[in-house]
Amino acid sequence: MTPNPPGVGAGGNDPGYMSVKFDVNSQFDFSNFEYWIVFNTTGNGSTPLTNPQQNNWQAYSDAIEVGGTGGGTYARAIQFLKNSNPVIPPAFLTLITTPQQLQYIPNSNGSGTEFQVTFQRSIFTPISTPSPGVSPSPLAHTWLFNAFVTQSSANNQLIFVDSMGQGGATDTTFTDQPPLSVCQSFDTVYTKVQDISPPTDPSSQIVSVEIANNGSSPPSCPP
């Protein structure tokens, strides 16, 4: 964690911005894995876990997904659009962002084991409505998060490989992490709890996630 220069917000972020540094045990393998930071921005108190279908994905509201193709790697912001039928997974809607709103550094530590994504929190403002004429709920002042390594499959069925909790791919215990008070400024490293049975591929083993947030966001918070 690097101290911020005088006059610069937490993590070097501008007002209303958050950054995430995601570290794994060996160089990223984007041909086999995708790397996620999933947020619950609703304020309902649920932590994103590896069993989202159990409660109709209520802890999954937004995410940053980092993946790769033959032409390189990418980061995209996603909003999970829930279906009223709990057996149908949500649509993974890619949010349209400008280069200023979403900035991706694929090799932020020079070793190929860390990426950094900086984003404007307001990109996660809910855009779906539960019924015609009803405005979406605003972003909450307190967010919860989890980080995952996954393999993807058809129909938005995520195959979990690792998470921040000790159960890794099947963990449902990572529920007591400090909440993210987005109206405050902070820069915190969250170290992954040691796996009971870690993934065999070190490229899929989460080491830590550092989240820095500049709580200042005129004229109001959280956007």
Query: What tens digit of pLDDT does each residue of 23-72 get?
Result: 999 999 999 999 999 999 999 999 999 999 888 899 999 999 999 876 78
Residue 4 maps to a domain: no
Residues 6+ apart with CB under 8 A from 88: none
Looking at the 3D structure of the chain, how many domains does it have? 1
- Residue 99 has a CB neighbour count (10 Å cut-off) of 7
Judged by DSSP in three states, 65 sits in: strand
- Distance CA(181)–CA(197), nearest Å, equals 32
- Distance CA(207)–CA(210), nearest Å, equals 10
Residue 219 maps to a domain: no
Q: What is the CA radius of gyration of the chain?
A: 17
| Amino acid at site 179 | P
- The reply to whether the predicted model has a pTM over 0.75 is yes
Domain span at 71: 10-213
Query: What tens digit of pLDDT does each residue of 106-147 get?
Result: 999 999 999 999 999 999 999 855 555 555 678 999 999 999
Residue 2 maps to a domain: no
| Angle of CA points 96, 99, 100, to nearest 5° | 105
- Distance CA(127)–CA(91), nearest Å, equals 13
pLDDT at position 1, please? 45
